[in-house]
């Protein structure tokens, strides 16, 4: 598998950097402006597209576009539809996914103008995802509302155990969202919602391409009046189009739900395994890096309605995930001295959300208890020898351990009127890694709907981002973490408006985020030899976006094109760092200077 013909290309190495005002590295500590323009024309053939039906028949894609406003989205602690919600949540439907001809979840996320997707390998092997000019460590990833973010590093955030055919929709919430999702929802959140088929059946697919690329998936659905279950799996591999870009990926996912008038039960479990050549993912000094990752996620939850008319809803959830990572600086070279590391993280959690519907609106009270534990050859506190743990498939041992427990208390109230929605809430957060007891992160969201076409919104939210275990503990010849790091903090302000009429939708957004204690990797002086993780100072981030969608199928049933979408986004970034000699990754997401360390 690993020996094939490649597209050979010469390596690009930087040996000198200009000091001119327009040079790339001169952006450090200065204002940076980046504009992005994207155009998409989506053509998708369905049987009804060849008929002479009217544009808004119940099962047409055009009708589904309009019905997205009725979908309950995760923009608040209380269940609100996309139309009611004060926050604007971008929804990518299953039809959007199908029409886009994407090959991975990462490709689909590019449809949202505020989302930056940077893939190191093809087919979404490893992807860094960020929102509104943030970093890949500053977002929360959820699967059916359950947080599956990796506390070790955001590099592996896109290890999804589901395939595109399993997904019903993807919800993207831009901006600080701590009072909804807790710590780590610094610049936004992405929630993947999977399908539950109404009928029993089997789905099969297969694909192939050049450079030994093959793949396939299978899904089995079993449905009855009260119980729905689905089991799916997929496999893909490729020799890669260039040197050391081969990969092998396996995934499996099982979900089910049981529904009655008074209670809903739902459960899920997923596994994804990847082995891949990591090229120059973490540095150009080695082009033969190698990585293996494994992720297992499981959760069980319910909605309990003990009182009539849904006056009270109790939603308890328990969850667990395990992430396993094996990395080699040079494939086949073993041992810590050769740059080989093993990491195993476990996240255990339980949550309870309570929603009360009463005369003055919807009030939500919630609590989430989350324990993050890592065993590693490189990260954490050194263990005594009798506490070392065996690493399966290796003669090495986990010699280090780190843990922290995060407690989040939520309070939110929503007032939903015919033309107006007010959502205000507060997160009280305590982490055993931090001192000072509870830390508070409030937020307010407003939406005004003067008529059926217009929606105007504004918000202010405060959030934090806890350092990853990489930020805290990494120590090698090139980088040094710092256990004294403070969490990143931000105030985000957002304004926007949406206009929707037959065949046309446009949305304008603008935001300003005021960040403090931002974490960066720096040389503190000219004598420094390793990049050091530090809270470097302030980061003011501003941006605006315009999205325009034209759906000709709503006007002409026989139209070839279902949707034509145009989006433009611009971001400006200004930093006020401490006195530093060199920054490795400050503004890396804007300037594309380099990858964060491994």
**In the block, which residue shows the tokens 């989006």?**
567
The closest of 35, 164, 27, 8 to 95, measured between CA atoms, is: 164
* Distance separating alpha carbons of residues 80 and 412, to the nearest angstrom: 13
Q: 411 to each of 173, 183, 358, 405, 459, how far by Cα in Å?
A: 19, 15, 15, 20, 17
Predicted confidence (pLDDT) per residue in 141-154, tens digit: 999 999 999 999 98
**Are 532 and 482 a contacting pair, CB within 8 Å?**
yes
Tokens of 491: 């105030």
> Dihedral sign, CA of 95, 100, 103, 108?
negative
> Rounded mean pLDDT of the chain?
83
* Distance separating alpha carbons of residues 32 and 572, to the nearest angstrom: 5
405 in helix, strand or coil? Answer: strand
* Distance separating alpha carbons of residues 210 and 7, to the nearest angstrom: 12
Q: Say if residue 396 is exposed, middle or buried (CB neighbours under 10 Å; 0-12, 13-18, 19+).
A: middle
536 in helix, strand or coil? Answer: strand
**Are 230 and 255 a contacting pair, CB within 8 Å?**
yes
Q: How many C-beta neighbours within 10 Å does residue 316 have?
A: 14
188 in helix, strand or coil? Answer: strand
* Distance separating alpha carbons of residues 407 and 460, to the nearest angstrom: 23
Predicted confidence (pLDDT) per residue in 466-481, tens digit: 999 999 999 888 889 9
Predicted confidence (pLDDT) per residue in 429-445, tens digit: 999 988 878 999 999 99
- Phi, psi of 67, deg, nearest 5: -75, -10
* Distance separating alpha carbons of residues 547 and 112, to the nearest angstrom: 9
* Distance separating alpha carbons of residues 472 and 597, to the nearest angstrom: 12
* Distance separating alpha carbons of residues 550 and 131, to the nearest angstrom: 24
Q: How many C-beta neighbours within 10 Å does residue 552 have?
A: 18
Is pLDDT at 587 greater than 60 in this prediction? no
Burial 210-229 (b: 16+ CB within 10 A, else e): ebebebebbbebeeeeeebb
Using 50, 70 and 90 to split pLDDT, how confident is the model at 510?
very high
| Strand-pair category, 139-143 with 188-194 | parallel
Predicted confidence (pLDDT) per residue in 47-63, tens digit: 333 222 223 333 333 34
pLDDT at 69: 67
**Domains in the chain: ranges and CATH:** 32-591 (2.40.170.20)
* Distance separating alpha carbons of residues 192 and 401, to the nearest angstrom: 31
**pTM here?**
0.85
Q: What is the CA radius of gyration of the chain?
A: 24
Tokens of 217: 């998936």
Q: How many C-beta neighbours within 10 Å does residue 47 have?
A: 6
* Distance separating alpha carbons of residues 93 and 411, to the nearest angstrom: 30
Vertex 107: Cα angle to 102 and 111 (nearest 5): 95
Using 50, 70 and 90 to split pLDDT, how confident is the model at 578?
low
Q: Say if residue 376 is exposed, middle or buried (CB neighbours under 10 Å; 0-12, 13-18, 19+).
A: buried
220 in helix, strand or coil? Answer: strand
The closest of 458, 544, 429, 550 to 114, measured between CA atoms, is: 544
Is pLDDT at 520 greater than 90 in this prediction? no
Is pLDDT at 525 greater than 90 in this prediction? no
pLDDT at 585: 55
Q: Mean of the pLDDT values across residues 495-511? A: 92
Is pLDDT at 326 greater than 90 in this prediction? yes
**In the block, which residue shows the tokens 């190698």?**
290
Q: Mean of the pLDDT values across residues 206-222? A: 91
pLDDT at 576: 62
pLDDT at 443: 95
């Amino acid at each position: 598998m690993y020996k094939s013909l490649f597209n050979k290309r010469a390596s690009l190495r930087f040996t000198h950097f200009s000091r001119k005002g327009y040079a790339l590295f001169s952006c450090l500590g200065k204002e940076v402006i980046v504009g992005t323009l994207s155009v998409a024309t989506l053509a998708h053939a369905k049987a009804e597209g060849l008929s002479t039906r009217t544009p808004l028949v119940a099962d047409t894609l055009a009708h589904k576009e309009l019905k997205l406003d009725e979908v309950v989205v995760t923009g608040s602690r209380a269940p609100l539809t996309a139309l009611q919600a004060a926050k604007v949540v971008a929804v990518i439907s299953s039809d959007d996914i199908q029409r886009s001809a994407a090959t991975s979840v990462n490709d689909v996320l590019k449809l949202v103008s505020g989302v930056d997707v940077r893939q190191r390998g093809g087919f979404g092997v490893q992807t860094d995802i960020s929102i509104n000019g943030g970093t890949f460590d500053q977002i929360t990833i959820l699967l059916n509302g359950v947080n599956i973010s990796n506390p070790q590093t955001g590099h592996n955030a896109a290890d999804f155990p589901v395939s595109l055919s399993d997904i019903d929709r993807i919800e993207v919430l831009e901006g600080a969202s701590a009072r909804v999702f807790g710590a780590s929802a610094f610049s936004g959140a992405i929630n993947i919602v999977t399908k539950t088929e109404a009928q029993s059946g089997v789905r099969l697919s297969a694909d192939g391409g050049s450079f030994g690329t093959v793949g396939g998936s299978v899904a089995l659905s079993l449905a009855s009046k009260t119980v729905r279950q689905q089991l799916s799996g997929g496999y893909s591999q490729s020799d890669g189009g260039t040197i050391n870009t081969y990969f092998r990926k396996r995934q499996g996912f099982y979900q089910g739900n049981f529904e009655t008038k008074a209670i809903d039960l739902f459960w899920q479990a997923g596994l994804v395994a990847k082995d891949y050549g990591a090229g120059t993912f973490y540095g150009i000094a080695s082009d033969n890096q190698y990585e293996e990752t494994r992720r297992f996620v499981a959760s069980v939850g319910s909605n309990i309605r003990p009182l009539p008319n849904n006056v009270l809803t109790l939603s308890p959830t328990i969850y667990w995930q395990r992430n396993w990572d094996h990395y080699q600086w040079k494939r086949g070279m073993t041992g810590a001295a050769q740059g080989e590391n093993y990491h195993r993280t476990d996240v255990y959690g339980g949550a309870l959300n309570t929603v009360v519907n009463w005369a003055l609106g919807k009030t939500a009270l919630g609590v989430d208890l989350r324990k993050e534990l890592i065993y590693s050859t490189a990260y954490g506190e050194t263990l005594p020898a009798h506490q070392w743990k065996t690493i399966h498939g290796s003669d090495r041992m986990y010699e280090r351990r780190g843990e922290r427990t995060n407690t989040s208390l939520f309070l939110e109230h929503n007032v939903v009127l015919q033309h107006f929605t007010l959502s205000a809430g507060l997160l009280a957060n305590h982490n055993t890694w931090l001192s000072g007891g509870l830390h508070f992160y409030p937020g307010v969201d407003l939406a005004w709907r003067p008529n059926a076409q217009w929606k105007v919104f504004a918000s202010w939210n405060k959030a934090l981002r806890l350092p990853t275990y990489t930020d805290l503990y990494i120590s090698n010849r090139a980088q040094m973490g710092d256990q004294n790091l403070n969490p990143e903090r931000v105030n985000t302000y957002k304004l926007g408006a949406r206009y929707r009429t037959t065949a046309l939708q446009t949305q304008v957004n603008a935001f300003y985020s005021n960040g403090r204690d931002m974490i960066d990797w720096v040389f503190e002086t000219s004598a420094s030899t390793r990049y050091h993780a530090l809270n470097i100072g302030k980061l003011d981030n501003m941006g605006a976006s315009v999205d325009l969608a034209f759906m000709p199928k709503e006007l002409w049933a026989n139209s070839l094109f279902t949707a034509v979408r145009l989006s433009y986004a611009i971001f400006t970034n200004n930093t006020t760092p401490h006195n530093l000699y060199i920054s490795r990754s400050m503004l890396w997401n804007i300037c594309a200077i380099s990858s964060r360390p491994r």
